[in-house]
Structure 1
Amino acid sequence: MNSTFLPLSYFILGGYLNEGKLTYFYFTITISLYILIVFSNMCVIVVICMNRSLHEPMYLFLCSLFVNELYGSTGLFPLLLIHILSDVHTVSVPLCFLQIFCVYTYGSVEFLNLAVMSYDRYLAICCPLQYNTRMTTHRALVFIFIVWIYSFVKFLITLSLNLRLTLCGNIIDSLYCHNYLVVKLACSDTTVNNIYGLFGIIITIVVPLVPILFSYLRILKVCFSGCRKTRQKALSTCAPHLASLLNFSFGCMFEILRSRFDMSAVPRVVRSMLSLYFLIIQPLLNPVMFGLQMTKIRNACIHVLSCKTLAGHSGNLGI
């Protein structure tokens, strides 16, 4: 460990290995994933924004979700791509804290957004006659605003607490800047950081679990007590949301365990890949799951693509 009490100017990301000939293979795979994530999420965002029939609460929540996927991916991939090709895996302190802010606000917005979406699905399935009055477009926008503002303010406070720490090392055992691993480098008192971090976990994870569990328990009750058609409609509506929620929870849980416990028994490559799971697989799968499962989005995408195809044919024919 690089022991010093002087202000640090950079961190070293210790999660990278010298892969030799495989470097360009990893770079190609990573940049392909990034392009695919940007393209797929942008497509669905444009379709929702352009199609007035999709300007409903459920699709506004989805639009917020897809914007967050782009935000989180942009906080990760540019630096990741640079470090894959680089022999020196250093990052300046300001840039490191900026990445921490982006990655952690992405996680907070993602989980809170999914919690609000579960409540929206509860209202749509369990209270269909009251849905249009209890979940208006204005109320949906207020929910989205609160989710984003809360996440930004919460992690601005986190960063301000980190900046007051005296760090006695600069090696972060990760592929990207990680808040908990930075705090572990401190040789000054971290009591306030730990208390605030615990409080933040409770507010960001435990509190949203209440509406999620409540919503799905009520939805399951409707499924078991309703007719077959009602069950099928409820399951088709909730399936992509539930899959997204479970996928994101698995990724976050592994990353929390990896950063806090000794997992040296797990191969380093596996640890590295799984540490990126919630930052790569979630943005990659969400537009596919929601886009294919939800009829309105699927039809709107087909309509946009068919219009572009027809326009291209007309242009070729000189019409």
Structure 2
Amino acid sequence: MENGSTIRKDLELLGLEEIEGFKYFYCPVLSVIYLCILILSIVIVFVVLANPSLHEPMYILICNLALNGIFGSSIFFPKLLMDLLTSTKTISRDGCLTQSLFILFYVYLEIMTFSVMAYDRYVAVCHPLQYATLMTSVKVIKVLIGSSLVLFILLLVSILLTMRLTLCGTQIKNIFCDNMSIFILACTDTTVNNIYGTFITIMITCFFMLIIVFSYVRIYIVCLRLSKESRHKAMHTLGTHLINFSIFLLGFFFVAIRHKFGPINLPVSAQVGLCMPSFVIPPLMNPLVFGVRTKALKSKMVLPFKKGGCTSKTPAPN
């Protein structure tokens, strides 16, 4: 590691040097991807908010996923594009810590939303008579807001613990900042950071994963006892959720692999390649999959086009 980072305030993002030579390829491609994410997600949010019939727990949760996709991709794409266009390869330490906090919040907000969605489907399939009282829109909104606040506080503590460290290096082998990449540059004791980081990662991830696994297993067991038509409907919904959750896990897996091999001199290009999917695949695929496979949402999304088509076919008066 480079010495003297206590004097130098800026940190170097080595990943930007790695891809700068291809910036005229990356900039248009990343701009199109970001624009697609924004358009698809905003359409989902607008359709849900504009239609009172969709003000139900499941659609509120889909809307939350879309909003989180906008949030997560907006942490990543605009800065990356600006850095490539201006050939900037550094970031201030405060900016790096802020980006790290928002990235952590985006990841855990995603898995939290999926866990609430899994529980919502569990109640709907396994306890249909109690669904109207157990799962209401107001309760779901309160759970989302309350869980988000708790997550933000827990993650903020992690960032504050990193902030107190003295760094002896300035080079981050990535195109963005994350908490792990910062505190491995420290030349002071990071035991507290490691213990706290491991604790909240295991606690949060295991808690949400247990809810998801329990809910989907129970749904599958109940589906086996349903009539053919009811089973098909339940399995279609379950399949949609599992597809999207698998997409998220794929991105999460890439980040986990990167952190596992990061300290072992993994090439910068490989680290960039492992991290990129987590900001591209889930935000892009979530609105696509839910928009196509959720019947009520799909019908509301295509309704304006149908109306437009009908209007254009109406004969003009003589």
Relative to the length of structure 1, the TM-score reads: 0.92
Q: Which amino acid aligns with 1:108?
A: Y
CA contact (8 A) 2:173 2:268 kept: no
CA contact (8 A) 1:8 1:93 kept: no
Q: CA deviation at 1:29?
A: 0.4
SS of the residue 1:91 aligns to: strand
* Partner residue in 1 for 2:69: 69
Provide the rounded CA distance (Å) in 2 between the counterparts of 1:247 and 1:263: 26
**Number of residue-to-residue matches in the alignment:** 315
* Partner residue in 2 for 1:279: 279
* Partner residue in 1 for 2:145: 145
Q: Which amino acid aligns with 2:297?
A: I
Q: Deviations over 1:92-129 (max 9, x none)?
A: 11221121111110001000110010000001111111
Q: Which amino acid aligns with 1:178?
A: D
Q: 1:3 to 1:69 in 2, by over 3 A?
A: same
Consecutive unaligned residues in structure 1, runs of 5 or more: none
Q: Decide which moves more: 218-227 or 13-22.
A: 13-22
Q: CA deviation at 1:250?
A: 2.1
Q: How does 1:189-200 map to 2 (within 5 A)?
A: 189-200=189-200
The percentage of counterpart residues that share the same residue type is 32
Is residue 247 from structure 1 mapped to residue 231 from structure 2 by the alignment? no
SS of the residue 1:130 aligns to: helix
Q: 1:114 to 1:7 in 2, by over 3 A?
A: farther
Q: CA deviation at 1:61?
A: 1.0
CA contact (8 A) 1:41 1:67 kept: yes
* Partner residue in 2 for 1:85: 85
Q: 1:40 to 1:94 in 2, by over 3 A?
A: same
Q: CA deviation at 1:151?
A: 2.1
* Partner residue in 1 for 2:303: 303
Q: Which amino acid aligns with 2:150?
A: Y
Q: How does 1:213-232 map to 2 (within 5 A)?
A: 213-232=213-232
* Partner residue in 2 for 1:169: 169
Consecutive unaligned residues in structure 2, runs of 5 or more: none
Provide the rounded CA distance (Å) in 1 between the counterparts of 2:266 and 2:247: 21
Q: 1:284 to 1:269 in 2, by over 3 A?
A: same
* Partner residue in 1 for 2:42: 42
Provide the rounded CA distance (Å) in 2 between the counterparts of 1:268 and 1:187: 22
Q: Deviations over 1:280-313 (max 9, x none)?
A: 10000000100110011001001133346667x5
* Partner residue in 2 for 1:124: 124
Q: How does 1:104-123 map to 2 (within 5 A)?
A: 104-123=104-123
Q: 1:21 to 1:190 in 2, by over 3 A?
A: closer
Q: CA deviation at 1:225?
A: 2.3
Q: Deviations over 1:59-89 (max 9, x none)?
A: 1111111111101111111111122334341
* Partner residue in 2 for 1:96: 96
Q: CA RMSD in A?
A: 2.2
* Partner residue in 2 for 1:289: 289
Q: Deviations over 1:128-187 (max 9, x none)?
A: 111101101211111111232122112211111111011101110011101101010011
SS of the residue 1:112 aligns to: helix
Provide the rounded CA distance (Å) in 1 between the counterparts of 2:221 and 2:18: 53
CA contact (8 A) 1:165 1:188 kept: yes
SS of the residue 2:91 aligns to: strand
Relative to the length of structure 2, the TM-score reads: 0.92
Provide the rounded CA distance (Å) in 1 between the counterparts of 2:263 and 2:159: 27
Q: CA deviation at 1:51?
A: 0.4
